[in-house]
Amino acid sequence: MSSMLEDKDLKSIQEVRAKIELAHKAFLKYKHYTQEQVDQIIDHVAAVARANAQHLAQLAVEETGYGNVQDKVAKNLLNSDLLHKAIRPLKTAGIIREDSDQGLVEIAEPVGIVGAILPTTNPTSTAFYKILISLKGRNGIVLSPHPRAVRCTCEAASLLARAAVEAGAPEGIVQCLNNASLPGTNELMKHKLTSVILSTGGAGIVRAAYSSGKPALGVGPGNVAVLIEASANVDSAIASVVQGKSFDYGTVCSSEQTVVAEETNREAILTALKENRAFLCDAQQCKALQTLLIKPNFAINPDCVGQAPQKIAKMAGFDVPDNTRILVVELEGVGREHPMSAEKLSPVLAVYFVRDFAESLNACESILNFGGRGHTSVIYSHNDERIREFGFRMPAFRILVNTPSPQGSTGITTNVFPAMTLGCGAIAGNITSDNVSPMHLINIKRIAYHVRDPETAFTSVEAKAYFAGESIPKPKVNLLENRNSTSISLSNNPEGDAQPDIRDAVHRYLNQRGISVSSSTTETSTIPPMSPTTAPMNAAESVVDNFLSKRHPEVSSQLEATTPIEASPSPPAPKVTVVPFVSEDDVRQAIHRGKKIYIDENTIVTPAASDLGTAHDVLVQTD
C-alpha cells in the first residue's frame, strides 16, 4: 500500500478528494454569509493580492519561463484592482432584486464548489481572478494549477486563502492542489462535490471540462484579426497594435495575431511598424519562423510561447536588434495554406494587404474561422458605418475599436467586464459569450406572487374564445394568394359556382404548356400564366390531357410537342476526393452543408476538427 502512495497520479487523486471535502465543509458555512460579510472578505483578499502583485509576477516568470515581469504585474493588478472595483457593487447574497409592482423577489444562491483549471501562461493573475469571483458568489474553490506553474499558483492561492480567513471566511474555503496531474484534474472535474468547472487552458483541457458531465465555463482559442480601415490614423493604430502584441510577449489569448489593411496603406503601415521597433522579416526569415513556430498539425511550438522576440529570432537562425519589440511576417493569404495566419502565442505578428474594404472583411472573417471563432477581433477606424458593418460581420463576441486587443478584451481600456475567462459562445462550443463574472457563479431563485387570473393573461382572439368556452376560430387563408400555386379555391365565388375557378385552372395549365386557347364565351383569366415546366404530370393533369386529346385533336398534338415523355437521366455519382488537411472550420462548414469529408492515412486532421468531426459523423476514412 505504501508503494502505491508514492505514485504521483494516485497522490494527486487522493489530494483532490481530501481538499474538495475541506472546501465543501467550509462552503456549507460560507453560503449563509451576508452580503456585508462577503464584501468584507473580498476587500481584504483583493488588498493582499495587490500587495503581492510584484512578488508573484516574478515567481511566475521564474517558474514558467513565459512572459515578462512588468506585464505580469499589470495582469495581477487587473485582477486585484480593476476586477475588485467591478465586483464590489454586485449583489450576490440574499435578496438581490425586488419588484413589488411585478410581484417578483430574486434571491441569490451560490453554485457550490468551483473546480478551477488554471493555465501556465497567466498562472497568478488567473488565480487572483478565479478566487475573487468565486468568493464573491459565496462559493468554495479548488484550484488545479498547470504542472509547469504549481509553485507560483499555490503561493498565490495560499496568500489569498489566508487573507480570506483573516477577514472572517471559514477555514478551507480556498484550496490548491500541490500535486497537479492530469488524472488529478480529471478527478476534480468529475467529483460528486464539484458543482461547476471554470476552465482556462489549451483546447484539450477545455474539451475535457465540457465532457465531464458537470456544468462548465470554458473558453475557445483566440486568433485575433485586426483591421486597419482606410479612415484610421495609421501611426496611432500601429502604435496600439504593437503595444498589444508585445504585452507579456503575446501570451494573452486575445493578443493580436494578424493585421489586415488595404494595399494603399502598405508603405505607411510598414514605416510605422519600423518606428515602433518592429522587425520586418524577409522571405527567408518568414519561412524559418513558420517552420519553428507552427507544427505540421498546426499546434504551437511550446518552446516559443511567451518568449522574447530576440530569443525566437535566434531559435529561427537569425538575429534582431536588442530593442526589438515584435517580429513581423507578411502573408500572401490566410487559412490553412498559410500557417502563420494561425494563433502564435508569441510576439510574432502577421500582416496581410488586400485591395479594398470588402476584401478586408473577407480576410478577417477567414482568420477568425481559422482557429479563433467567437473570441475577439479589432478594428481601427473613424467610420462608424464601417465599424458597425465589421461588428455585424465578424464571428467574434468582443469587437474592439481603436484599442490594443489584450487590454481592451480584458476590460482595461474598455468597459467590458474585467476578466481572464473570455467566453466564445456556441459557435466555439462554449456555454457563454460573456467575460465571466461572479454572476455566472450564482443561481437565482425567484419568489413570484399571484398578479392575475389565467383568462386575463392572454390577449389573442383565439385565447379569448378558449376562455369563453367557444371553438377557436379557424384561420382564413386564401390559397390563391400564392400566385405560383395550382390549387383551386372556391372562396372567391360566393355563389358556389366553381366553373370560373376551374376555367382559370385549365387556362393556367394550358398556358403552362405554351398553348393559346380563346373563346368568345369566356373571359380572359386574371391569373397570369406560369412558366413552361418539364416536371412530370400529376393525376389531374393526365385527366385534362386525356379529355383534350379526345375533344380537341389539335390541342393534343400541341401537348405531345410540349410535354416530355422521358425524365432526364440521373447525374453520375460524385467523385470522392480525399483532402490533405482538415481544420475545425472545414468540419463546421461540412456540418452546415450536410456533406462528408473524405480522409486517408496521410490526411492531417487538427485535434479540434477530429473531435467535432467524430461527434457529427462527418469524417469518412478511405482506403
Of 434, 443, 421, 347, the C-alpha closest to 79 is 421
The model's confidence at residue 610, banded by pLDDT at 50, 70 and 90, is confident
Q: What ranges do the domains of the chain cover?
A: 2-218+440-447, 224-423, 479-562, 581-621
Instruction: Report whether pLDDT(4) > 70.
Output: no
How confident is the model at residue 568, as a pLDDT? 53
Dihedral of CA atoms 419, 242, 400, 352 in degrees, nearest 10, equals -130
CB neighbour list of residue 438: distance below 8 Å, 6 or more residues apart: 87, 90, 92, 133, 134, 136, 137
CATH code, 224-423:
3.40.309.10
Name all contacts of 610-618 with Cβ < 8 Å and 24+ positions apart: 610/582, 611/207, 612/429, 612/584, 612/587, 612/588, 613/582, 613/587, 616/587, 616/591, 618/587, 618/590, 618/591
Q: What is the pLDDT of residue 5?
A: 47
Residue 513: predicted pLDDT: 61
Residues with a known catalytic role? 253
Please answer whether residues 251 and 305 qualify as being in contact, where contact means their C-beta atoms are separated by less than 8 angstroms: yes
Q: Which CATH number is associated with domain 2-218+440-447?
A: 3.40.605.10
What does the pLDDT read at residue 519? 47
| Candidate from 1-5, 192-196, 313-317, 510-514 with smallest mean pLDDT | 1-5
Reported as a single tens digit per residue, the pLDDT across 334-372 is: 998 999 999 999 999 999 999 999 999 999 999 999 989
SS3 sequence of 265-277: HHHHHHHHHHHCC
Confidence band for 210, pLDDT divided at 50, 70 and 90:
confident
> Among 112, 188, 111, 190, which residue's Cα sits nearest to residue 145?
188
Q: Is the pLDDT confidence value at 3 over 70? A: no
- Of 465, 457, 256, which Cα lies nearest the Cα of 367? 256
* DSSP conformational letter for 455: G
What is the residue whose three cell numbers read 453554485? 111
At 8 the pLDDT is 85
pLDDT at 128: 98
Yes or no: say if 196 and 215 are a contact pair by the CB < 8 Å rule: yes
Q: What pLDDT is stored for residue 547 in this prediction?
A: 58
| Residue whose C-alpha cell is 500582416 | 351
Q: On the CB side of 254, how many CA atoms lie within 13 Å of its CA?
A: 28
Question: pTM of the entire structure?
Answer: 0.77
In what side-by-side order are the strands of the sheet with 326-330? Answer: 278-280, 326-330, 348-354, 256-262, 224-228, 374-380, 396-401
For 108, 252, 430, 443, 599, the CA distances from 219, given in Å and listed in that order, are: 25, 13, 6, 21, 29
